[in-house]
Amino acid sequence: MLNIELCGVKFKNPVFLASGIMGSTGKSLLKMAKCGAGAVTTKSISLNEREGHKNPTIVELDDSLLNAIGLCSPGVDEFLEEIKEIKSYLNKMNTKLIVSIFGENEEEFKEIAKKVEHLADIIELNISCPHAKGVNKIIGQNPDLTYSICKEVKKSVKVPVFVKLTPNVTDVIEIASAANDAKIDGFTAINTVRGLAIDIKAKKPILANKFGGLSGKAIKPIGLRVVYELYENFNKPIIGVGGIFSGYDAIEYFLAGASAVQVGTAVLKDYEIFKKINKEIEEYLLEENLTLKDIVGLAHE
């Protein structure tokens, strides 16, 4: 009932692990696969080893997180060793692998994509981290940079390429249009929302980086709005992300136009969340006498 297909890739269910949560090691990715994820997404991988921000890097809020980890990465060559160790196990469980990558320019994105292509079922371009050092934080706000990076990666690899969009722009459709013009295969929406938390006793920002990316329940209405707009404007598959804690949250995303969803913050409270969400989706579809394909974009009719 929950089988789906995106760009020729078949998934056993539409509930995936989002990038940035439990995706730093092969073992953590494998654990999420065992917990029922239809696909697991790696933490974003850079070309070379990269340090993140200094502590503190995370602020816990009510069913939300504010983080400024800073896209730390061991580098693509080292991380490939992690992925190689688990790929056969993922295949046996019929769990797909989405590899998230980021770079400082077109050449870096292209080089990383070519290195990971043989292991990835989908490559996800992280052009939208709101707390990264360097140019990455502005790529997803610039249509020209978005176009050139998407175009370079698309012509370099044969696996499907999705672009992860930021909500931290005036017009997300302008950025999505640039990616669409570059023949991207699909969209992931959304990345975290730029935010700030202040310690009233210390009278200064809590995060060492001051600003961080807000995830969790607080951003679900924003994620839904972006997915809705993307569905209205483009004929490409969308993976919805942001504030998904239940099957009912996921169903909202499907109705808005998403074909699959990714779960991040909720995983930290319950590793079994994938099974729970899938069960609630199935119950809803049976109750409504509908299929998953039936409800994708249904809120637009």
Distance CA 106, CA 93 (A): 34
Question: pLDDT digit string (tens) for 132-187?
Answer: 555 445 688 899 999 999 999 999 999 999 999 999 999 999 999 999 999 999 99
Question: What number is the average pLDDT over the span 181-204?
Answer: 95
pLDDT > 60? residue 258: yes
pLDDT for 23 equals 85
| Residues annotated as part of the active site | 129
pLDDT for 80 equals 93
Task: Tell me what the pLDDT averaged over the chain comes to.
Answer: 92
pLDDT for 62 equals 82
Q: pLDDT grade, residue 50 (50/70/90)? A: low
Q: Which CATH class is domain 4-52+72-196+215-300?
A: alpha beta
For residue 190, whether the previous peptide bond is cis, meaning omega lies within 30 degrees of 0, is yes
pLDDT for 70 equals 64
pLDDT for 67 equals 79
How, if at all, do strands 4-6 and 211-216 pair?
A: unpaired
Q: pLDDT grade, residue 60 (50/70/90)? A: confident
Domain ranges of the chain: 4-52+72-196+215-300
pLDDT for 131 equals 44
As a whole-number percent, the residues of the chain with pLDDT over 90 amount to 77
Question: pLDDT digit string (tens) for 11-47?
Answer: 999 999 999 889 889 999 999 999 999 999 999 999 9
- Tell which residue, 113, 165, 109, 117, has the closest CA to residue 141: 165
Distance CA 194, CA 130 (A): 6
Distance CA 18, CA 239 (A): 10
As a whole-number percent, the residues of the chain with pLDDT over 70 amount to 94
pLDDT for 137 equals 55
pLDDT > 60? residue 260: yes
Question: pLDDT digit string (tens) for 95-142?
Answer: 999 999 999 889 999 999 999 999 999 999 999 765 455 544 568 889
pLDDT > 70? residue 202: yes
pLDDT for 183 equals 97
Question: What number is the average pLDDT over the span 52-72?
Answer: 77
Tell me if 225 sits within 8 A of 257, measured CB to CB: no
| Ordered DSSP codes for the chain | ---EEETTEEES-SEEEPTTSS-SSHHHHHHHHHTT-SEEEPPPB-SS-B--PPSP-EEEETTEEEE-----B--HHHHHHHHHHHHHHHHHTT-EEEEEE--SSHHHHHHHHHHHTTT-SEEEEE---TT-STTHHHHTT-HHHHHHHHHHHHTT-SS-EEEEEPS-SS-HHHHHHHHHHTT--EEEE--PEEEE-EETTTTEESSTTSEEEEEEGGGHHHHHHHHHHHHHH--S-EEEESS--SHHHHHHHHHHT-SEEEE-GGGGT-TTHHHHHHHHHHHHHHHHT--HHHHTTGGG-
pLDDT for 53 equals 59
pTM of the model: 0.94
Alpha-carbon distance values, 191 to 8, 57, 93, 184, 198 (Å): 24, 17, 28, 17, 22
